[in-house]
Amino acid sequence: MNSSRRHFLQAGGAASLAAVAIGCDKIQVPEMLLPGRRATAPPDGPYATPAGKDIDLVSQALNRLTFGARPWDYQRTRKLGTTEEAAFAAFLDQQLAPEKIDDPNCENATRRFELLNEPLGELFEYQEKHLLDALVRSTVLRAVFTERQLYEVMVNFWSDHFNIDPSKGDAKWLKVADDRDVIRAHALGKFPAMLRASALSPAMLWYLDGRVNKKANDVDKPNENYARELLELHTLGVHGGYSQKDVMEVARCLTGWGVQEVGRSKLNLGSVEFKPLQHDRGEKVVLGHVIPRIPKQAKPEEIEKLGRAELDTVLGIIGLHPSTAKFIATKLCQRFIADAPPAAAVSGVAEKFIVSGGDIPATLRALFATDAFLTTRGNKLKRPFHYIVSTLRATHATTDAGPTIQDYLLRMGHAPFHYPTPDGYPEEAAPWLGTLLWRWNFAVALTKNELGNATKLDAAKLRASFATEENQMAHLLGRAPSADEITACKESGAPLALLLASPSFQKC
Amino acid sequence: MSTQTSLTGKGDNLKTLVVVFLRGGADGLNMVAPAHDDGYYRARPRIAIKDRDTNAAKLDGSFILNPILKDLAAPYHDGALAVVHAVGSEDATRSHFEAQDLMERAGDVAGGWLGRYLRFRGATTTGALSAIAVSRALPESLRGAPAATVMRSLEDFTLGKGGGLLQASLEKLYAKEHDALGASARDTLAALSRIEKLSKTTYSPAHGASYERDDFSQGIKQVARLIKARVGLEAVSLDIGGWDSHITQSAVMDPQMRKLNAGLSAFYRDMGKTGMAHVTVVVMTEFGRRLAENSAFGTDHGRGSVMFLMGGGVKGGRVMAKWPGLTKDVLEGPGDLPVTINYRDVLAPILQRHSPQVDLAKVFPAFELKPQAIYG
């Protein structure tokens, strides 16, 4: 099917739905069919809320392992164990086995983005702006609605770690497959497998020029763009003990990999191929490991086999290297503990990363068991994406993640899939401190229902989810409110907006 | 604590870049006309700017200024305004959308050049009001900025109707925060208060400057106010649309030139010599127009056009051009003034002047910069 027809069908679908909604106001359109979505609330309210004056372990878990607590999350999570510790352990077990969690709200909210499931070649039939919009919206909607929260948090983490700017070349189409087949397929899997998938992701081959890294003749100079970022950003880290020579040698090992691209072929668009004649057959030395020359008399199929294998040899050298372990552990600890995490936590997590063979759930378990994680609470600034999603979750709002939401994310410089360089959005607080005005404006707009028809909250319903006003405050703050907060709420004339704009709600 | 400097930590040293985008493809050849080039008069017998029957300011013996832009002659002769000619981008589609997109993004890369500049300019933090677009939506150029504000007027800087109580309550809560977040909140609140005060008072432009009533003049007036109020403004984007002069060129273009002339000259006067030292104004457009006029007294989409650079230490009083001539053999494609200077090479030195630590390779990726000597 050609793309214009498909777009017509999509547009037609949306238009006829609108006609139903506008033209026949007596017909009740099922909520499921409307663009805005709301998670189904469990029936056992009013919900219990945290009672302590400090953030307890359950709220800590909801702050860090999820994109923020919904009105019922604290009660539901707390009930998983007789003690806070037991509840946290049970919650962690659940979250680390996302495939066992039913997720109907999320499935309903993202069903219309079925184009994201298209096979590689089919993606090229869509206009790139539709793909980007679908990616951004489904990413926001998943974060808001999924029960598999830790999985989604890790998707967010790895999307930055293996950042691809989909503006570049065929990545406009291929990032969809990268998000699905690299990031989402391995977010709670094994790091070496994710690394390999990323190395052979057609979008990555485009973004970091791997597709033009070749040695077809004596004058060809390998393109070292991907090799450098592979070592610097994906594995060892900038001070991870490699040299410029290592970068060159890795680039040579990876010569010959390419992508079927638009304009050159109509067959197998986007599929990755290895071209033995473009592979550098000389000897290489990577971090001291010698990769022998491919003999001159080798047959083509032999060259292909040996050439392909060099990718795995390189990834084998760096995938579980101590520097990689330290680098990944540092980034995970920055995400889950503090911008400057204690060295002891990092080294413990790094060790687990190595002994588990880069098993991400095992590594996370080690992290969540550190003293630093258990005791460092309420200190991390939510990045704007986390902030927006957490306000929608906390207030049980409907949303379609449409233009008004994306507009705020753009203004705050944190729209998914909009970061230009391969290092991904920064994790630490400093670059995001200029976004407060927009957070406050968002809090005001959301609580006044000024974000369009598809993003709305029902303040009365929300209030009815809790026995008292102070319970509602405790839900939003993850702890009992302070006297100052209670006073400020009363004086503000807009208690809900004030809490969403308050210092504590900016943090997690 | 003096909030005058706390907002940026840079006080008076903070520089502001004001980018004015002329949307629709502005005809550089009729804004700054090559009076020395017969090719110009031959190709435009009816619409050329004629030296003899106008008060056209002679800029440098070669180029003359369109009489409607007459008030730009003052900054030019003060040495504060420079013209760059036969400038533009590598985009040869002559499509408004493609050309604007490329120019604002500056490459096959996420975000716009202004947004990436703010992110990679070598500062660790960004103020709440560091980047402003005076428009209805965030322009492509500002996408990817760490924080960008879209405004029509100062009144947009509030926390909504009745936001005063909310603001007071936020002030109390954030006063107890002693970390960077608290500091940033106090800066933001101070900026809000200052703007609130501004919007309650009538603004009196300095040095007898007076702004016209059109959107552009009113917009750049707000920019002048914000710069003077030192709210930490580092980058501003404004637009003037309506330059697509396919028919009866003067009817289409003259009103837009009047806006540009009035707005820029009022701003120049208002800021004064001292003020302009800290502000660089850049005027640019996605492409110029065909050399030859068409049968409808208009011009079609072309390639090279002009940029105006004003203030910020730019060495003015000159037209910077690698003038290619207008003979058949040099014209590009259907007969267009070629682009002899890439716009990035004009912007790069300005960004470096404003932020010496800027990582220009990230702002203008995949482009070999040959920065123009705009500071002399």
Strands B131-134 and B235-240, sheet pairing: parallel
Quick one: B88 exposed, middle or buried, by C-beta within 10 A (0-12, 13-18, 19+)? buried
Q: What are phi and psi of A410, to 5 degrees?
A: -65, -45
Helix, strand, coil in percent for chain B, rounding step 5 = 40, 15, 45
| Tokens at A288, concatenated | 């001291």
Which residues 464-493 in chain A show a CB within 8 A of chain B?
484-485, 487-489, 491-493
* Sole residue written with tokens 């640019």: B284
Question: Which residues in chain A have their CB less than 8 angstroms from residue B160's CB?
Answer: 441, 444-445, 448
For residues A107 and B75, what is the distance between their CA atoms, to the nearest angstrom? 62
Which of A412, A430, A492 is nearest residue B166 as measured by Cβ atoms?
Answer: A492
Q: Chain A interface, mutation test: which of B155, B156, B159, most A Cβ atoms within 10 Å?
A: B159
Question: Which residues in chain A have their CB less than 8 angstroms from residue B163's CB?
Answer: 444
For residues A506 and A312, what is the distance between their CA atoms, to the nearest angstrom? 43
Q: What's the pLDDT score for residue B54?
A: 57
Cβ atoms of B24 and B282 within 8 Å: the answer is no
- With both helix axes pointing from N to C terminus, report the angle between A57-65 and A149-161 in degrees, rounded to the nearest 10: 50
Give just the sign of the alpha carbon dihedral A274, A278, A282, A288.
Answer: negative
- Is residue B138 predicted with pLDDT exceeding 90? no
Q: Which residue of B has its CA nearest to A163?
A: B110
Q: Any chain A CB within 8 A of the CB of B128?
A: yes
For residues B103 and B23, what is the distance between their CA atoms, to the nearest angstrom? 11
Q: Any chain A CB within 8 A of the CB of B126?
A: yes
Question: Which residues in chain A have their CB less than 8 angstroms from residue B129's CB?
Answer: 437
Cβ atoms of A147 and A101 within 8 Å: the answer is yes
- Is residue B1 predicted with pLDDT exceeding 80? no
Contact call for B172 and A429, based on CB within 8 A: no
Closest CA of chain A from B289, distance in Å: 28
Which residues 319-348 in chain A show a CB within 8 A of chain B?
none
For residues A175 and A204, what is the distance between their CA atoms, to the nearest angstrom? 8
Contact call for B109 and A420, based on CB within 8 A: yes
Question: Which residues in chain A have their CB less than 8 angstroms from residue B188's CB?
Answer: 436-437, 440
Contact call for B150 and A411, based on CB within 8 A: yes
Over the Cα atoms of chain A, what is R_g? 25
Contact call for A420 and B110, based on CB within 8 A: yes
Cβ atoms of B334 and B75 within 8 Å: the answer is no
Q: What's the pLDDT score for residue A1?
A: 35
pLDDT in tens, chain A (508 residues): 333 333 333 333 333 343 344 444 455 555 556 667 888 889 888 999 999 999 999 999 999 999 999 999 999 999 999 999 999 999 999 999 999 999 999 999 999 999 999 999 899 999 999 999 999 999 999 999 999 999 999 999 999 999 999 998 999 999 999 999 999 999 999 999 999 999 999 999 999 999 999 998 888 888 999 999 999 999 999 999 999 999 999 999 999 999 988 766 667 889 999 999 999 999 999 999 999 999 989 998 999 999 999 999 999 999 999 999 999 999 999 999 999 999 999 999 999 999 999 999 999 999 999 999 999 999 999 999 999 999 999 999 999 999 999 999 998 989 999 998 899 999 999 889 889 999 999 999 999 999 999 999 999 999 999 999 999 999 999 999 999 999 999 999 999 999 999 999 999 9
pLDDT tens digits, B303-335: 999 999 999 999 999 999 999 999 999 999 999
- Is residue B270 predicted with pLDDT exceeding 50? yes
In terms of phi and psi (left: phi > 0; alpha: psi -120 to 50; beta: otherwise), the region of B272 is left
Q: What's the pLDDT score for residue A285?
A: 98
Distance of CA B316 to the CA centre of its chain: 16
Cβ atoms of A5 and A127 within 8 Å: the answer is no
Mean pLDDT of B351-375: 96
Go through chain B and tell me how many residues it has.
Answer: 376
Q: Angle at CA A220, nearest 5°, toward A214 and A225?
A: 55
pLDDT tens digits, A203-225: 999 999 999 999 988 888 889 99
Q: Which of B283, B286, B284 is nearest to B93 (CA)?
A: B286
Cβ atoms of A274 and A256 within 8 Å: the answer is yes
Which residues 384-423 in chain A show a CB within 8 A of chain B?
407, 410-413, 417-421
For residues A399 and A39, what is the distance between their CA atoms, to the nearest angstrom? 10
Contact call for B172 and A488, based on CB within 8 A: yes
Q: What's the pLDDT score for residue B7?
A: 42
Q: Chain B interface, mutation test: which of A223, A387, A410, most B Cβ atoms within 10 Å?
A: A410
Question: Which residues in chain B have their CB less than 8 angstroms from residue A437's CB?
Answer: 128-129, 147, 149, 157, 188, 191-192
Distance separating the N- and C-terminal Cα atoms of chain A: 47
Contact call for B162 and A493, based on CB within 8 A: yes
CATH 2.40.160 fits B3-153+211-363, yes or no: no
Q: Any chain B CB within 8 A of the CB of A444?
A: yes
Amino acid at residue number B154: L
Which residues 88-107 in chain B show a CB within 8 A of chain A?
105
Q: What's the pLDDT score for residue A28?
A: 59
Interface A-B, measured as beta-carbon pairs within 8 A, has a size of 141
Q: A64 Cβ partners below 8 Å, 6+ apart?
A: A336, A373, A380, A508
Question: Which residues in chain B have their CB less than 8 angstroms from residue A168's CB?
Answer: 108-109
Q: Which residue of B has its CA nearest to A483?
A: B173
* Sole residue written with tokens 């063979």: A357
Q: Where are the domains of chain B?
A: 3-153+211-363
If residue B60 lies in a helix (H) or strand (E), which one and from where to where? none
Cβ atoms of A4 and A130 within 8 Å: the answer is no
Closest CA of chain B from A418, distance in Å: 5
* Sole residue written with tokens 């990413």: A139
* Sole residue written with tokens 């709305």: A456
Can you give the three-state secondary structure of A284-336, one letter per residue? EEECCEEECCCCCCCCHHHHHHHHHHHHHHHHHHHCCCHHHHHHHHHHHHHHH
Q: Which residue of A has its CA nearest to B174?
A: A503
**DSSP class of A382:** P
- With both helix axes pointing from N to C terminus, report the angle between A343-355 and A322-336 in degrees, rounded to the nearest 10: 130
Contact call for A493 and B144, based on CB within 8 A: no
Helices (H), chain B: 3-6, 28-31, 38-43, 73-77, 96-105, 113-119, 163-175, 180-200, 215-228, 249-276, 343-354, 360-363
In terms of phi and psi (left: phi > 0; alpha: psi -120 to 50; beta: otherwise), the region of B108 is beta
For residues B98 and B90, what is the distance between their CA atoms, to the nearest angstrom? 11
The three-state secondary structure class of A326 is helix
Q: What's the pLDDT score for residue B55?
A: 59
Mean pLDDT (chain B, rounded): 90
For residues A326 and A353, what is the distance between their CA atoms, to the nearest angstrom? 9
Q: Any chain B CB within 8 A of the CB of A445?
A: yes
Contact call for A167 and B165, based on CB within 8 A: no
Distance separating the N- and C-terminal Cα atoms of chain B: 39
Contact call for B365 and A420, based on CB within 8 A: yes
Contact call for B146 and A410, based on CB within 8 A: no
For residues A372 and A368, what is the distance between their CA atoms, to the nearest angstrom? 9
Q: What's the pLDDT score for residue B9?
A: 43
In terms of phi and psi (left: phi > 0; alpha: psi -120 to 50; beta: otherwise), the region of B312 is left
Cβ atoms of B185 and B242 within 8 Å: the answer is no
Amino acid at residue number B212: E
pLDDT tens digits, B67-117: 999 999 999 999 999 999 999 999 999 998 889 989 999 988 888 999 999
Amino acid at residue number B313: G
Contact call for A413 and B108, based on CB within 8 A: no
For residues A211 and A176, what is the distance between their CA atoms, to the nearest angstrom? 18
What is the number of helices (H) and of strands (E) in chain B? 12, 11
Cβ atoms of A41 and A462 within 8 Å: the answer is no
Q: What's the pLDDT score for residue B201?
A: 87
Q: What's the pLDDT score for residue B163?
A: 84
Closest CA of chain A from B172, distance in Å: 7
Question: Which residues in chain A have their CB less than 8 angstroms from residue B150's CB?
Answer: 411
Cβ atoms of B31 and B306 within 8 Å: the answer is yes
| Tokens at A247, concatenated | 């970068």
Q: Which residue of B has its CA nearest to A443?
A: B159
Give the residue, B295 or A135, on which the prediction is more confident.
A135
Contact call for B362 and A421, based on CB within 8 A: yes
* Sole residue written with tokens 């069903």: A111
For residues B339 and B91, what is the distance between their CA atoms, to the nearest angstrom? 10
Which residues 191-210 in chain B show a CB within 8 A of chain A?
191-192
Q: Which of A468, A477, A500, A480 is nearest to A45 (CA)?
A: A468
Q: Which of A200, A194, A180 is nearest to A270 (CA)?
A: A200
Which residues 153-192 in chain B show a CB within 8 A of chain A?
157, 159-160, 162-163, 165-166, 168-170, 172-174, 176-177, 180-182, 184-185, 188, 191-192
Contact call for A434 and B130, based on CB within 8 A: yes
Percent of chain B at pLDDT exceeding 90: 72
Which of A417, A436, A498 is nearest residue B185 as measured by Cβ atoms?
Answer: A436
The three-state secondary structure class of A327 is helix
Contact call for A502 and B192, based on CB within 8 A: no
